[in-house]
Amino acid sequence: MKILKSLLFFSLCFLLTLNSFANTSLPEGIIVRKIWGNEKHNAFTSLIDFKGTLYCAFREGDGHVFGKDGVTRILASRDGINWESVTTLKKEGYDLRDPKLSVTPDGRIMVIIGGSVYNDKVLMSRLTHVSFSNRAGKKFSDPQPIKISSEAKTNMDWLWRVTWYKKTGYGVVYQLTDNEWSVCLLKTSDGINYDLVTRLEVTGQPNETTVRIMPDGEMLMMVRRESDDSNGMWGRSKPPYIEWEWRKLDMQLGGPDFIALEDNLIIAGTRDYDKKERYTALFTGNREGDFRKLLILPSGGDNSYPGFVFRNDKLYVSYYSSHEGNSSIYLVEIPLAYLKEIIQSPVF
C-alpha cells in the first residue's frame, strides 16, 4: 500500500506538468522503452498477444506521408524487452499504412493494412489489404486485397481495424466519395470477404474507428471526426448491431484504440490535442463513454496511434513519437495496481 500511495503521489504531480511531458520521467513503477528506431519514419502501431508472445506492427516509410511507398514491419518479443523483426510486408505501387493486428478464430495472426495509391502526391485510390501468419506466427502471406460486397464498396475504402467476436470479425470502413465522408460497419468470417452490417449515422467527416465487443455481446465504438467541432463519437449497440446509441466525447481523437480491463473499466489511448503541442495520452472510462485523462506518455511532435495488451496484471501500450528525433516505436508497461489506485483516488 505504501508503494501504491507513492505511485499515486508521483502520478498526480505528473498530471500537473502537462507542458513538459516529452522531457518528464514517468511515475515510479511505469516503464517506457524504445523498441524500434532507425532513419525511417516509424508510426501507427498495433499490439497483440499471440501464444504468449507480444507482436507489434507499424508502418515504416520516408515520412508521415509520401516519399517511397511505406511497408509494414512486424516485431515480436516474449518479454517486452528484447524484440526481433519477424517480417516486412510490402506491395509494389501501394503505400501500406496503419497495420492492425488481430487473432483469427482458427489461430492465426491477421494483419489489416490500408493501401493508398498516389500519383504525384495526389491520392488516387484506397484498397485495404490483408495478410495472415502461419499457426506459429513466424511467416506471413503476401498482402492481398480484401473484398467488400457491392452494396458497400467504393474506390476509397479503408477498413481500419478488425475485431473478432466468436467466429465473426467486425470492422468499420471509412470512405470518401464526392467529398463526402461516411462510415459503415462490416463483418467477415474469413478476413477476406466483407459484408455490410449497417451504415453508421455519424457526421463530421468520420474516419478512424476502433470496434470492441464486450463478453455479453455489446459492441462499443470510438470514432474519429475531422470537422464540425472535431470531437470523437462513442457508440454502443446490441446484436445484431443495427441500432446505435451515440454520445459525443469531450476530446478529439487521433489513432484511437481502447481495451476493457473489466466489465465497466475501459482504458483508451489517442492523440491529446494541446494549443501548442500534441501528445499521446491515456484515458480511463466506462461503457457509457465517460472518459477522464489518466496519463500523458513521453511524446511530442508526430505521435500517437497506440495499441493495447493486458496480461499478467500489466497493461502494455505501444505508440510512436518523434520527441527524441526520428519517429520511433515505444512500449509502456503499467501495473494494473497502479491503474486501479489512481482511478479510485478521490483526487483523480
Q: At residue 231, does pLDDT exceed 80?
A: yes
pLDDT of residue 320: 98
pLDDT tens figures, 268-318: 999 998 767 899 999 999 999 999 999 999 999 999 999 999 999 999 999
- Peptide bond preceding 256: is omega within 30 degrees of 0, i.e. cis? no
User: What local confidence, expressed as pLDDT, does residue 17 receive?
Assistant: 36
**Residue 338: pLDDT above 70?**
yes
345 vs 131 pLDDT, higher one: 131
Q: Is the pTM of this model over 0.75?
A: yes
What is the model's pLDDT at position 289? 97
CATH code: domain of residue 27: 2.120.10.10
User: Quick one: pLDDT band at residue 177, thresholds 50, 70, 90?
Assistant: confident
In the numeric block, which cell numbers belong to residue 57? 506492427
What pLDDT, on the 0 to 100 scale, is given for residue 16? 33
Q: Give the confidence band of 12 by pLDDT, cuts at 50, 70, 90.
A: very low
Q: What is the span of the domain harbouring residue 117?
A: 2-344
> How many domains does the structure of the chain reveal?
1
Nearest CA to 296 out of 6, 30, 81 is that of 30
Residue 124: how many other CB atoms lie within 10 Å: 11
Q: What is the mean pLDDT of residues 239-254?
A: 97
Q: What angle do CA 225, 266, 222 make, to 5 degrees?
A: 15
pLDDT tier at 327 (50, 70, 90 boundaries)?
very high
Question: For the residues 44-55, what does the mean pLDDT come to?
Answer: 98
b/e code 79-110 from CB counts within 10 Å (16+ = b): ebeebeebbebebeebbbbbbbbbbbeeebbb
